[in-house]
Structure 1
Amino acid sequence: MAMGWIEQVTGSLEQKKQYKQYKARTKQLPANYRTAIDALERYLTYFGAITKGETLVKMLEDLADLFEQSAAGGTPVREIVGEDPVEFAETFLQNYSEGQWISKERRRLSEAIASVAKEEVP
């Protein structure tokens, strides 16, 4: 009971543990990959505005998987993100859009218009 209340106030303890594991994984990457993933993480968390902790953790774990595999295979960072890292980040983020606050607002707008439209039909 107390654990549930604490998690409501502070957030999921499991997600915090997963985030720490993600950070430990990224610290093991070669410097150039680490710099790139840190920059991507910053952009994704600001631009993505993900409010669901489980979605954010999943996205970051997937990003770490991609960079670990790329580092192991010797894939250059530019080959991972392409010529436009913003386009890469925003395309990558589309896979996790359900966790963004704007998704809720899009649904709310659609439902409001649908409700009004029903009332207007004679």
Structure 2
Amino acid sequence: MTDKNPYNYFKQMFTDKAEYNKKMAELKDLPQEYQVVYKEIQKFLWEFTAGDGMDMLQPMYELLAFFQEGAGNNIPVLELVGEDVGEFAENMLHEIQAKTRINELKRKMNERVAKEINKGK
């Protein structure tokens, strides 16, 4: 968020939280098996977020819509995502191409290496 006005920041934060709560209420309308898989994928993706994790919200909302469509068509969740939920989650992480914790760690490592190498030059 680039707006430095604290009022706008808190207003946006409130709006984002309200949207998140609405989506999580929608999740509760899905069959139990879908909820279990969604929560596991969500936990996995949160492990890779950078900063406040806002970069993961839209992909999680898209996953919810995907699950809603699958459930609406009576497709078992493991038929939708495959038996290897971890693989599905990892593929999703790669597709997101959002700023992730891993990317942040790699960036910092590269900065430290460059700093140390250039120190003696």
Scaled by the length of structure 1, what TM-score is found?
0.73
Distance 2:6 2:19 in 1: 21
Structure 2 partner of 1:104 = 104
Q: Percent identity over the alignment?
A: 24
- Deviation sequence 1:27-57 (CA, Å, 0-9, x none): 1112222222123222322x32443432121
**Superposed, which structure 2 residues align to 1:65-80 within 5 Å?**
65-80=65-80
Moved more, 86-95 or 108-117: 108-117
- Deviation sequence 1:11-32 (CA, Å, 0-9, x none): 8222212211210110111222
Distance 1:67 1:35 in 2: 12
Give the structure with the larger helix fraction: 1
> What RMSD, in angstroms, separates the aligned Cα atoms of the two structures?
2.6
Shift of 1:75: 1.7
CA contact (8 A) 2:55 2:99 kept: yes
CA pair 117-52 structure 1, distance change in 2 beyond 3 A: same
Structure 2 partner of 1:60 = 60
Distance 2:45 2:52 in 1: 14
Which blocks of at least 5 consecutive residues in structure 2 are unaligned? none
Distance 1:72 1:83 in 2: 20
Distance 1:50 1:76 in 2: 32
Structure 1 partner of 2:20 = 19
Moved more, 16-25 or 91-100: 91-100
Matched, 1:3 2:14: no
Shift of 1:108: 2.5
CA contact (8 A) 1:18 1:57 kept: no
Aligned-partner residue type, residue 41 of structure 2? L
Moved over 4 A (4+): 114-121
Aligned-partner residue type, residue 33 of structure 1? Y
- Give the secondary structure class of the aligned counterpart of 1:98: coil
Which blocks of at least 5 consecutive residues in structure 1 are unaligned? none
Q: Report how many residues are paired.
A: 116
